[in-house]
Amino acid sequence: MQLRGKLTAGPVGHVVRTPRAVVPRVALSTASQASRHVSRRHLLFLSTLSAAGHHANANAAYVEEVQEVKQEQPGPTQPSTSGAPEQNQYVNPPTYLTTTGRVVAVGDLHGDWAKAIEAFKVAGCIRVKDDNEIVWIGGDTIVVQLGDVLDRGDNEIAIVRLLRALDAEARNHGGAVYMLNGNHESLNICGDFRYVTPGAFMESAAFAGLDEREFKDWELLARVRYAVYKPGGPMAMELSKNPTVLVINDTAFAHGGLLPVHVAYGLEKLNSEVASWMRADRSGESGTAAPPFLAMGDAQSVMWNRTYSKERYPSPHERFHACNSLKQALGRINAKRLVVGHTPQLGGANCECDGGVWRIDVGMSYGVLNRPVQVLEIVKDLVSNESTVRIISNESQLSVDLEEAASVDL
């Protein structure tokens, strides 16, 4: 998924052809319920999105016949849907990185384009020029977006493309932008569209080449979205590039949480298995790779875990066990802290367990709490080898030295 031309501060899209799909009932019912008012402004955006690449008339007949087209033209942005892609067509996401530059973490964005732009501006990583061109000014900064770009907002694909374009610009200066996979990415790949907005259904339809006149056919929109996001589909292939867990220097990043059992299983193995599932890689006699349970299977998985995210633990006993679990998990990977999203913090971004975990989902997107943007900055002193962590907000700045974190009442 490549962005050509200059990067501008408005949602952009890319068109691919999509195969016919068998859509789960939840997708069809969600789409039919989504027929409430959508702004004219968003429809105008979708019309430009649809024209932003090789336009295809994705009506019902097209959806039926495009399978053959996809088989004839497999590629990184148009993966074959006749089976799984070649095993080495996509590289597995990274797990362990080191850097001498600063690291910035951005929480859940949930399809909110304006908050995505604002988060990067607050972090000091971009500047928006008078003509709306976006310029990377973050130098060698590494940005980690903690997942949940999808659902609850209208501009999901646009934000994924923004993150990819910023990553390309950042790498020219020694930096990078990473997106993690969260539970809402996994929900969409599973075909669970209960949190998808009408605008996001339209965005994925425009991405697939549907004409605006076809947006009233909600069953077609659901089928097309399923084709776009199902394992092996173009957006699933794109999301397969994302880590589920990322460790940079002495800081671990995960959407929901990181338990000792996850570390014992192997973080690289978890990342690889999530990527294989999203790509629909071949897996022995069973057909294609199964969704990895430890990564996204239940409330204890990496993507769904909330063990470390309670702003007020019910008892000192529960807090002790949570912090002890965190200590064990971090100790096994030689990390000093974990940064998570997933659970909106009503009091704003904060830390717990003596600075061992930082919770930075502040519900900033308009589909959640529409709260002020806050991001986390981690700067490592190359002389002392110690890190300073601070929360940066568009309202104020809070600097918390890790040596004092134990005394901070959050």
Region 363-386: mean pLDDT is: 94
Please list the residues that pair with 209 across neighbouring strands: none
Residues forming the active site: 184
Query: Looking at residues 335-350, what average pLDDT do you find?
Result: 97
Q: What percent of the chain has pLDDT over 70?
A: 74
The reported pLDDT for the residue numbered 283 is 85
pLDDT of 48 over the 80 cut: no
- Distance separating alpha carbons of residues 329 and 21, to the nearest angstrom: 40
More confident residue, 230 or 403: 230
Longest dimension (CA), the chain: 65
What's the pLDDT score for residue 394? 79
The domain limits of the chain are 98-408
- pLDDT higher than threshold 60 for residue 106: yes
Question: Average pLDDT in the 187-210 region?
Answer: 97
Residue 72 has pLDDT above 80, yes or no: no
Span 292-304, average pLDDT: 97
What CATH class does 98-408 carry? alpha beta
pLDDT at 213 over 60: yes
Q: Which has more confidence, 50 or 93?
A: 93
pLDDT above 80: residue 403: no
Give mean pLDDT, residues 95-122. 97
Q: How confident is the model at residue 89 (pLDDT cuts 50, 70, 90)?
A: low
How much is the mean pLDDT over the chain?
Answer: 82
Which one, of 15, 39, 17, lies nearest residue 161 by Cα? 15
How confident is the model over 265-289, as pLDDT tens digits? 999 999 999 999 999 999 877 689 9
pLDDT of residue 8: 66
- Residue-level pLDDT at 3: 44
Dist. CA 270–CA 305, nearest whole Å = 15
Average pLDDT value for residue range 353-379: 97
Query: Span 345-366, mean pLDDT?
Result: 97
**pLDDT value of residue 79:** 34
Distance CA 195, CA 215 (A): 18
Length of the chain: 410
Would you state the pLDDT for residue 83? 36
Region at 286 (left for phi over 0; alpha for psi -120 to 50; beta for the rest): alpha
